[in-house]
Structure 1
Amino acid sequence: MRELRDEIAAVLERARDRTVGLTDSVDDADLVAQHSPLMSPLVWDLAHIGNQEELWLVRDVGGRDAVRSDIDELYDAFRHSRASRPALPLLDPGQARSYVSTVRDEVLEILDHHPLRGRRLDEAGFAFGMIAQHEQQHAETMLATHQLRSGEPVLDAEPAPRAATAPTSREVVVPAGRFEMGTSEDPWALDNERPAHPVHVDAFAIDVHPVTNRQYLGFVEDGGYERPELWTERGWRHRIDADLQAPQFWSRQPGGSWWTRRFGTALPVAPDEPVMHVCWFEADAFARWAGRRLPTEAEWEKAARFDPRTGRSRRHPWGAAEPGVDTANLGQRHLGPAEVGAYPAGASALGVEQMIGDVWEWTSSGFEPYPGFSAFPYREYSEVFFGGDYRVLRGGSFGTDSVACRGTFRNWDHPVRRQIFAGLRLARDLSPSERGDLSRTGRS
């Protein structure tokens, strides 16, 4: 049990280090400012992180008295829209920092003596893992806020790795058949990832790599944003209303070159990096322009997890080992995606690369519960979002921490969202002759 306690403490510390880095990098005026109506002030995220930790770990798991019961309503994400939060009587930066520090001190005391078993919430430290994931999810949200803020750059990290060889356009065929989707075993998996269940997927082809800036630029230069036949009716209306002309943060320079802005720094668009900051409508239109489509959520997960040799689903594309520096670009280690082909060691058993980290990947699927879904530990984490105006994203980004990213992890957002670190990967149906070839070789 000591080993598990040490693991939990390390995961909590890693999350807090990210939170501190993202909030201490700006002054107090920046912390309380709202950099976009799509995002909360950074100081709201900071105190909300502490409030959720207090609610679940201090009061529920620890059974202790409240630290600050008077602020629960202020930091209830369902009571106040992001756009309205700056007008609330929020804790100021000093108060917020003091509050989250006090809560964390109590949590570490509780962790040191808790049996980490008993109730479902306590088993294997689930509640601690849930809170670590919650903080890391807000760390990625705060990173997106940093991308939207104006002013001088304040974040720094090592450049992402480059591919050892020039990328090529390749695809792999995923054979038809059933695989196990979701999980019933991962102790820290969240409710929407559960339970594991068999899903039949017809044979299809999927690209080895996510779509690159070079590929997406072809769509832009071919008038993709001026051709309504490439867009859904709703997507075209949004393209017109929002005046979409290229991925968010891109700008065409005199002479025709394209540049992007990343965390306050202007950079030429890197041709071999995955395209990023495109909404679902853009991803869908690009796929149609390319004569392809977005994969379904089940197709994406099968390509990522299914091992045809064993017939089983892996936790991560490369296997059971935790993500490492050679398998995935995660955890804000770099402030951007790596070139495609930079992580061959992270390939799935079927040979699909970079399915974890770099950029979230839009799928064609809406956000729905799995068969046998049960809300836990509260309906507002997943259940209230099912069936709404959401599309599922998979795989995480360079801003996602490994504790909140695995082959079963599900993200979701509105199809208009572009501030998130999202790109896409292409798939296609097989032709009748290809299906016939698979049948004759016994792979279907």
Structure 2
Amino acid sequence: MSVTNEPPHPVRDLSPEALREHTATALGRARERSVALTDAVDDGELTRQHSKLMSPLVWDLAHIGSQEELWLVRDVGGREPLRPDIDDLYDAFQHARADRPALPLLGPAEARAYVSEVREKSFDVLERAPLEGSRLTEAAFAFGMIAQHEQQHDETMLATHQLRRGEPVLHAPEPPPRRMGAVAPEVLVPAGSFSMGTSVEPWALDNERPAHEVHVDAFALDVFPVTNGQYVAFLDGGGYSDPRWWSEAGWAYRSEHDISAPRFWRREPGGWWRTRFGVHEPVPEDEPVVHVSFYEAEAYAAWAGKRLPTEPEWEKAARYDPATGRSLRYPWGDDEPGVEHANLGQRHLRTAVVGAYPAGASPLGVHQLIGDVWEWTSSDFSAYPGFAAFPYREYSEVFFGPEYKMLRGGSFGTDAVAIRGTFRNWDYPIRRQIFAGFRCARDLRPDERS
């Protein structure tokens, strides 16, 4: 059932000139980040595969340009193809990541020249295209889709940087300190229906649509993501050696791969240490744990006497405003993310301590739902009622099913254009190189159901 109590969106109220400027800014911010991530290393590092889980950085760069050419230059702009000969090389469905280094890829100089030429033509299309008349051009959707696509690959490239060995090459200021006092560890999310997804967000992707009513039973949810200090208690309590806390699939995976801690952690005399973008440092207790798989998150939750939230539970906690009964665009309201709201955009090269963003809390009092770490939920990736694939099936539809688990909320490596209260991410439950953490939920006791 579709619903109408959705928030307004500022893009819909922009004049055509202002919309073009807004869109150009989003595209420009993405390109600045792509350049920074690829200019940070030499050509040898660009073409090397740092992990079989990831593509060479130079593949990501040219793929960004290829997708932009396909959608903006050729489709929206109706222009002649620039490099039809490389379409298959940079089709993510044609070649597995592990196989991409063996392909005849564009070299660093050629890739940079290609993406620059594509961007010049895209900006010309943006200046000339009517931003109405079709679903692709309405409210500059195709341009917003490409800005999001580039930022998503920027986050992928950031994960590749985390996997590379060598001295640090990326630098950023430290995130803010804790800015609030002590709070209760969990909040009660009341029973009832809310509007999940969106039918009005102009740049929302197909899997976020349409808005629909979902009933959620009352439950309790952690105010903050699980911290490193909390996770160490699970480690030191033998959590990785006790199959009671693990699902059958999780225990099998943990055992086969001899997993004994979050990825990039190592126990040393005096405590736990981690490697973060080439920096070797003690694990900070008050930051959200990151680089854990769904299976590890699920096991911790069971050990703690809790569980992972479902995807509808997560979204209700993030968007529902009990004062108005309306679903907000973001936990803090309908305004775009500011530096006071969330740790986003690679502004800092780490998670912030819990309590660092009180201005970003949801009306129910849940903190840091956006930014810092992607949060595993217990839900599989599935279509919303009324889902329609757009603009191509391969964006979402081919991934629906129990093989993928849902992640919500974005990370410190996610840009604001590629995250919102309705945004949905998915991955295999074994993934540990992504910037993923979690928070716990629990069912209410009988004495709490009043």
TM-score, reference length from structure 1: 0.97
2: CA distance, partners of 1:138 / 1:388: 24
2:392 equivalent in structure 1: 378
1:277 equivalent in structure 2: 291
Structure 2 residue identity aligned to 1:400: T
2: CA distance, partners of 1:93 / 1:298: 43
2:55 equivalent in structure 1: 40
Q: Name the SS of the counterpart of 2:126 in structure 1.
A: helix
2: CA distance, partners of 1:175 / 1:205: 9
1:225 equivalent in structure 2: 240
1:442 equivalent in structure 2: none
1: CA distance, partners of 2:113 / 2:275: 34
1:141 equivalent in structure 2: 156
2:422 equivalent in structure 1: 408
How far apart are residue 185 of structure 1 and its match?
0.4
2:343 equivalent in structure 1: 329
2:65 equivalent in structure 1: 50
Q: Name the SS of the counterpart of 1:363 in structure 2.
A: strand
Q: Is the CA contact (8 Å cut-off) linking 2:262 and 2:292 kept in structure 1?
A: yes
2:322 equivalent in structure 1: 308
2:169 counterpart of 1:154: yes
Q: Is the CA contact (8 Å cut-off) linking 1:294 and 1:363 kept in structure 2?
A: yes
2:238 counterpart of 1:238: no
2:5 equivalent in structure 1: none
Residues 166 and 34 (structure 1 numbering): CA distance in 2 closer, same or farther, change over 3 Å? farther
2:194 counterpart of 1:194: no
Q: Name the SS of the counterpart of 1:333 in structure 2.
A: coil
1: CA distance, partners of 2:103 / 2:184: 50
1:365 equivalent in structure 2: 379
Post-superposition CA distance 1:246-265 (Å, at most 9, x none): 1000111123x111100000
1:208 equivalent in structure 2: 223
Post-superposition CA distance 1:30-58 (Å, at most 9, x none): 00000000000000000000000000000
Q: Is the CA contact (8 Å cut-off) linking 2:209 and 2:387 kept in structure 1?
A: yes
Q: Is the CA contact (8 Å cut-off) linking 1:167 and 1:272 kept in structure 2?
A: no
2:119 counterpart of 1:104: yes
2:94 counterpart of 1:79: yes
Residues 389 and 167 (structure 1 numbering): CA distance in 2 closer, same or farther, change over 3 Å? farther
2: CA distance, partners of 1:164 / 1:193: 32
1:290 equivalent in structure 2: 304
Q: Name the SS of the counterpart of 1:428 in structure 2.
A: strand
How far apart are residue 166 of structure 1 and its match?
5.8
- Report percent identity of matched pairs: 68
Q: Name the SS of the counterpart of 1:95 in structure 2.
A: helix
Structure 1 residue identity aligned to 2:219: F
Structure 1 residue identity aligned to 2:296: E
Q: Name the SS of the counterpart of 2:394 in structure 1.
A: helix
How far apart are residue 242 of structure 1 and its match?
1.1
2: CA distance, partners of 1:268 / 1:254: 11
2:23 counterpart of 1:23: no
1:353 equivalent in structure 2: 367
2:421 counterpart of 1:421: no
**Alignment counterpart, residue 199 of structure 2, candidates 170, 178, 184:** 184
Q: Is the CA contact (8 Å cut-off) linking 2:274 and 2:280 kept in structure 1?
A: yes
1: CA distance, partners of 2:144 / 2:235: 42
1: CA distance, partners of 2:23 / 2:143: 7
Structure 1 residue identity aligned to 2:399: F
Q: Is the CA contact (8 Å cut-off) linking 2:180 and 2:358 kept in structure 1?
A: no
1: CA distance, partners of 2:333 / 2:215: 22
2:408 counterpart of 1:394: yes
How far apart are residue 6 of structure 1 and its match?
0.3
2:9 counterpart of 1:14: no
2: CA distance, partners of 1:191 / 1:92: 34
1:264 equivalent in structure 2: 278
**Alignment counterpart, residue 354 of structure 2, candidates 334, 340, 343:** 340
Q: Is the CA contact (8 Å cut-off) linking 1:317 and 1:349 kept in structure 2?
A: yes
How far apart are residue 170 of structure 1 and its match?
1.2
How far apart are residue 161 of structure 1 and its match?
1.1
RMSD: 0.8
Q: Is the CA contact (8 Å cut-off) linking 2:159 and 2:434 kept in structure 1?
A: yes
1:248 equivalent in structure 2: 263
Structure 2 residue identity aligned to 1:233: E
2:179 equivalent in structure 1: 164
2: CA distance, partners of 1:68 / 1:106: 13
2: CA distance, partners of 1:167 / 1:381: 42
Unaligned stretches of 5+ residues in structure 2 = 1-15
1: CA distance, partners of 2:133 / 2:56: 38
Q: Is the CA contact (8 Å cut-off) linking 2:246 and 2:299 kept in structure 1?
A: yes
Q: Which residues in structure 2 correspond to 1:121-136 (within 5 Å)?
A: 121-136=136-151
**Alignment counterpart, residue 188 of structure 2, candidates 173, 197, 203:** 173
Q: Name the SS of the counterpart of 1:389 in structure 2.
A: strand
2: CA distance, partners of 1:165 / 1:50: 43
Q: Is the CA contact (8 Å cut-off) linking 1:167 and 1:340 kept in structure 2?
A: no
Q: Name the SS of the counterpart of 1:390 in structure 2.
A: strand
2:105 counterpart of 1:90: yes
- For these two proteins, the number of residue pairs brought into alignment is 435
TM-score, reference length from structure 2: 0.96
2: CA distance, partners of 1:195 / 1:306: 17
Q: Is the CA contact (8 Å cut-off) linking 2:329 and 2:422 kept in structure 1?
A: yes
Q: Name the SS of the counterpart of 1:199 in structure 2.
A: strand
2: CA distance, partners of 1:138 / 1:119: 27
